[in-house]
Amino acid sequence: MNRLRPVSILLLVITTLLARPVVAEDPPAANNLHLYLLIGQSNMAGRGPLKSKPLPVHPRVLMLNKQNEWVPASEPLHFDKSIAAAGLGASFAQTIADRNPEATIGLIPCAVGGTPLSRWQKDGDLYQAAVKRLKIAQQSGTLKGILWHQGESDSGDLAKASSYAERCGQMIRDLRTEAGTEAPFVAGELGRFLAEERGGKPRYWKLVNEQLHKLTQSVPRTAVASSEELTHHGDQVHFDTESLRTFGHRYADALLKLH
C-alpha cells in the first residue's frame, strides 16, 4: 500500500481548502440596533456627487429603506428625490460603528429636500412621516440619536430665522416624547458659503446658525456640528462630497460627547 508522505498530505490539505467556495458573511441581524434618525432637508438627504458605484457603508450598518425594510446601508441613503446622492449619514455611521465594535447601527433616513421647519414640527406631514418610520424602527432597537440639518428654507424670512431656536426646540421635545427617550440631538450649521442675498433679497443664514447654537443653551443634550471650512459642489447651496464626509465625522464626534 502506498503511503502519503507528510509533504503530500500538507499539499492535499491546502488544495482542499483553496477549492472551497468563498461564502460571504451574512448581514447582521436587525435586532438590538442602535438607531439614528436622519431628518431635515437636502443637505441631510445628500446631494454630494457619487463618482463610483455605491459600496456598503459598513458591515454593521443597516438602513430602513423606502419599503420600511432593514437592508445593508449604501448610498444614497435617502430617496426623497432622484438626485439624492452622497450625504453625511454614511461617514457618521462609519465613525459610530468603529467606536462601538459591539453595536449594529440602524439608520432611519427621513430627510426631504427643499422643506421648511414648519413641515417638521408636530402635526406637520414630514414630522408625522418620520415618527411613523421611527416607530417601525424601534421594534428592532433603541433610538440613540437624532441628526438634523435644515434651515436654508427658513433663512429667507427674518421672523422665521429669529424664531428658529424656539420652534426647533419644541420639535426636539415633541420627537423625544414620541420616542420615549431623551435621545441626543445634533444639528449642523448651515454652509458658511451661503450668499447673504439672493434675488435681491437678504438671506439670514448667519442668524439661523446663531439660533442653532442657542438651542444648546435651552434644550438639554443638544449639540451643533461646525460647517467651518466646508465647501459646496458649485451651486453655493449643497455641500460637496468630501465636505459631507467630514461633516458626518463632526456629527459623530458631537453626538458621542453627549452620551
Query: What's the mean pLDDT in 178-207?
Result: 96
Residue 21, pLDDT score: 38
Residues 212-252: tens digit of each pLDDT: 999 999 999 999 999 999 999 999 999 999 999 999 999 99
Cα dist. 140→35, 107, 136, 218 in Å? 9, 11, 8, 31
Closest CA to 110 of 170, 46, 58: 46
Residue 25, pLDDT score: 52
* pLDDT at residue 23 greater than cutoff 50: no
The pTM of this model reads 0.89
DSSP, residue by residue, 35-94: EEEEEESHHHH--B---S---BS-TTEEEE-TTS-EEE-BS----SSTT--B-SHHHHHH
Residue 67, pLDDT score: 98
**108-112, 190-194, 196-200, 221-225: the lowest-pLDDT one:** 196-200
DSSP, residue by residue, 214-248: HHHHHSTTEEEE--TT--BSSSSSSB-HHHHHHHH
Of all residues in the chain, what percent are helix, strand and coil, respectively (each to 5)?
A: 40, 20, 45
> How far from each other are the two terminal CA atoms of the chain, in whole angstroms?
70
Q: Report the DSSP pairing between strands 197-198 and 185-188.
A: unpaired
- The Cα 77–Cα 100 span in angstroms is 21
DSSP, residue by residue, 159-179: HHHHTHHHHHHHHHHHHHHHH
Would you place residue 27 in the very low, low, confident or very high pLDDT band (cuts 50, 70, 90)?
low
Question: For the chain, what are the domain ranges?
Answer: 28-256
- The Cα 138–Cα 164 span in angstroms is 29
* pLDDT at residue 4 greater than cutoff 50: no
Q: Is 208 helix (H, G, I), strand (E, B) or coil?
A: helix
Place of cell 451651486: 235
Element (H, E) at 211: helix 205-218
> Residue 18 burial (CB < 10 Å; 0-12/13-18/19+)?
exposed
Residues 85-138: tens digit of each pLDDT: 999 999 999 999 999 999 999 999 999 999 999 999 999 999 999 999 999 999
What's the longest Cα–Cα distance across the chain? Answer: 97
Residues 125-156: tens digit of each pLDDT: 999 999 999 999 999 999 999 999 999 999 99
Query: Does the domain made of 28-256 have the CATH classification 3.40.50.1110?
Result: yes
Residues 45-92: tens digit of each pLDDT: 999 999 876 778 999 999 999 999 999 999 999 999 999 999 999 999
Would you place residue 5 in the very low, low, confident or very high pLDDT band (cuts 50, 70, 90)?
low
Would you place residue 30 in the very low, low, confident or very high pLDDT band (cuts 50, 70, 90)?
confident
* pLDDT at residue 15 greater than cutoff 70: no
* pLDDT at residue 208 greater than cutoff 60: yes
